[in-house]
Amino acid sequence: MTLKKQSIVVAGGGSTFTPGIVLMLLENLDKFPIRSLKFYDNDAKRQKQVADATEIIIKERAPEIEFKATTDPEEAFTDVDFVMAHIRVGKYAMREKDEKIPMKYGVIGQETCGPGGIAYGMRSIGGVLEILDYMEKYSPDAWMLNYSNPAAIVADATSRLRPNSKIINICDMPVGIEHRMAEVLGLKSRKEMVVRYYGLNHFGWWTDIRDKDGNDLMPQLIDWVKEHGYVTPSELEGTSDEEIEPSWAYTFGKAKEVQWLDPDTLPNTYLKYYFYPQDEAEHSDPEYTRANEVMDHREKNVFSECNRIANIKTAEDAKLVADDHASYIVDLARAIAYNTKERMLLIVPNHGAVENFDAEGMVEVPCIVGSQGPEPMTQGSIPRFQKGLMEQQVAVEKLVVEAWMEGSYQKLWQALTLSRIVPNARVAKQILDDLIEANKDFWPVLK
Ligand code: NAD
Ligand code: G6P
Ligand code: MN
């Protein structure tokens, strides 16, 4: 059977992840053929550097694909089947502020969790709605696969403000952790595992992991994780060939302390910010946060390599590599385009998937995906510990969205106060007032 060729626009063409995703798409053309690839960004200069290199890569490796980079929404969003969206409203300059402002008060600042994630959410909602509206205007049948963060807040906002839109929010953290689990188990691929999982984005637990024959793999994994977190055997022995930055190495190790809270399940790494916020603050350098690390490493490496390719006009010896983890994006797009019924973890309206949880909360659960979109799989009732945590966190996320919709200072103060990461209402207010000042070009005016 010949597969219908697809037309894609990558929104956030200037993202540091774009080259890895393009190379991943090129590696998967047999499974997901592409006729047109476009980049869209609102920063022409940043996008051009990635686009100039991409143009050369495509000419050399898949010249049949039509490629174009643009800042014009009509040109970008017309005649597309999929919008792959990873924008960062405010870019790294604002991520740095999200991380550093709370640290002035001894509170951890993080990209997607706590006050940092709340600040980023208040910037992201408008940016994601804008591209969703462009898609619906110029390609009403298209689907948007969104991984712009903070995905939990963005997903809640889009589900409330654009309830009928064809947008699916996804995260690569479970994919990355499952990749590590497969290594611990000695499996070739994480796809040999069938998982049950529930939670919010960056806030969830695996409850069951089996091989394709139904054998229970949880006991072996739990034995490993309670001792080593998600550090792999080869990392422990120092024989791993995967490069990993110190902050991620720390996170994967810290996962063991997160696992201890519920010995029967396996946690998402992001729960560390909620269970051990003081440890995270102590472990961070308020003068040099993750944003600095990313700017000094990933951003420098990606842009200098793109510029080098553009200068020498060939990508034959390019050091850019396909982001294999990002192949879940192809799995998702394929599932919709060709009705493959792939089972994947997605962020979707609960609607009973977690029986004893808010029907309107956006949860991360396994879904079967076909051309009609995701069908969530029921995960039953959850224990009081997780339910309590999730109720609190979903309220934080919903208050942020309401603060954005209503321009409400009070609701944003409540959201910050309710976050497990912020110690009290006074500190919440101090952080909020500083964040308002720093975000005045991005947030709605709060009254
Ligand atoms: P980046 O700053 O390198 O790239 C983001 C790009 O978005 C920039 O080129 C910027 O100009 C552009 N942009 C900002 N606002 C825009 C708007 N309104 N319209 C169009 N373009 C806009 O950031 P990055 O580190 O490469 O990350 C990109 C995004 O992907 C972030 O939101 C990040 O959190 C997210 N991400 C998500 C996952 C996940 O699991 N869901 C995984 C990795 C990265
Ligand atoms: C994981 C998460 C993403 C997050 C990223 C941060 O992949 O799932 O949601 O954006 O980590 O990575 P960074 O390298 O930018 O700190
Ligand atoms: Mn994520």
Residue 5 — pLDDT band, cuts 50, 70, 90?
Answer: very high
Measured from the CA of 176, which atom of ligand 2 is nearest? Answer: 7
Across the range 296-323, mean pLDDT stands at 96
pLDDT for residue 419: 98
Is 441 noted as a catalytic residue in this protein?
no
Choosing from 133, 172, 262, 279, the catalytic residue is 172
The CA distance from 372 to 362, in Å, is 19
Tell me the ligand closest to 12's alpha carbon. Answer: 1
Looking at the predicted structure, is the pLDDT value of residue 41 above 90? yes
Question: In a mutational test of the pocket of ligand 1, which residue from 10, 17, 289 has the highest number of ligand atoms less than 8 Å from its CB?
Answer: 17
Q: Which residues contact 304 (CB under 8 A, 6 or more apart)?
A: none
133 close to ligand 1 (CB < 6 Angstrom): no
Do β-strands 362-370 and 342-349 pair in parallel, antiparallel, or remain unpaired? antiparallel
pLDDT by residue (tens digit) across 205-260?
999 999 999 999 999 999 999 999 999 999 999 999 888 999 999 999 999 999 99
Residue type for 95, please? R
The CA distance from 129 to 123, in Å, is 11
pLDDT by residue (tens digit) across 97-112?
999 999 999 999 999 9
Of 318, 333, 312, 337, the closest CA to residue 19 belongs to: 318
**Higher per-residue pLDDT: 1 or 142:** 142
Sheet strand arrangement including 82-85: 66-70, 34-40, 6-11, 82-85, 143-146, 167-169, 342-349, 362-370, 373-376
**For tokens 């009254």, what's the residue?**
447
Across the range 81-87, mean pLDDT stands at 98
- State which residues have CB under 5 angstroms from ligand 3, the bound ion: 171, 173
User: Count of residues for the chain?
Assistant: 447
Across the range 261-271, mean pLDDT stands at 98
How far is the centre of ligand 2, averaged over its atoms, from the C-alpha of 324 (Å)? Answer: 15
Number of other residues whose CB lies within 10 A of the CB of residue 304: 12
CB 180 within 8 A of CB 251: no
CB 211 within 8 A of CB 205: no
ipTM above 0.90, yes or no: yes
**For tokens 């604002």, what's the residue?**
94
Of 272, 192, 284, 282, the closest CA to residue 225 belongs to: 272
Across the range 327-348, mean pLDDT stands at 97
pLDDT for residue 389: 98
Tell me the ligand closest to 251's alpha carbon. Answer: 2
pLDDT for residue 384: 98
pLDDT by residue (tens digit) across 408-445?
999 999 999 999 999 999 999 999 999 999 999 999 99
CA 177 to each of CA 24, 181, 206, 268, 375: distance values in angstroms, whole numbers, following the listed order: 19, 6, 11, 8, 23
pLDDT for residue 272: 98
pLDDT for residue 324: 82
Cis, bond preceding 150 (omega within 30 deg of 0): yes
pLDDT for residue 242: 85
pLDDT by residue (tens digit) across 59-81?
999 999 999 999 999 999 999 99
Residue 373 — pLDDT band, cuts 50, 70, 90?
Answer: very high
Of 79, 88, 90, the closest CA to residue 9 belongs to: 79
Residue 325 — pLDDT band, cuts 50, 70, 90?
Answer: confident
DSSP 251-303: HHHHHHHHHTTSTTSEE-GGGHHHH-HHHHHHHSBTTB-HHHHHIIIIIHHHH
With H, G, I as helix, E, B as strand and everything else as coil, classify residue 336.
helix
The CA distance from 66 to 202, in Å, is 36
* In 213-266, alpha helices (H): 218-228, 233-237, 246-259
- Mean pLDDT over the full length of the chain: 97
How far is the centre of ligand 2, averaged over its atoms, from the C-alpha of 328 (Å)? Answer: 15
DSSP 8-state assignment for residue 192? G
What percent of the chain clears pLDDT 90, i.e. is strictly above it?
98
How far is the centre of ligand 2, averaged over its atoms, from the C-alpha of 171 (Å)? Answer: 9
Full-model pTM: 0.98
Q: Report how far Cα 152 is from the mean position of its chain's Cα atoms.
A: 9
pLDDT for residue 243: 86
pLDDT for residue 40: 99
Looking at the predicted structure, is the pLDDT value of residue 1 above 80? no
Is 172 noted as a catalytic residue in this protein?
yes
Across the range 365-387, mean pLDDT stands at 98
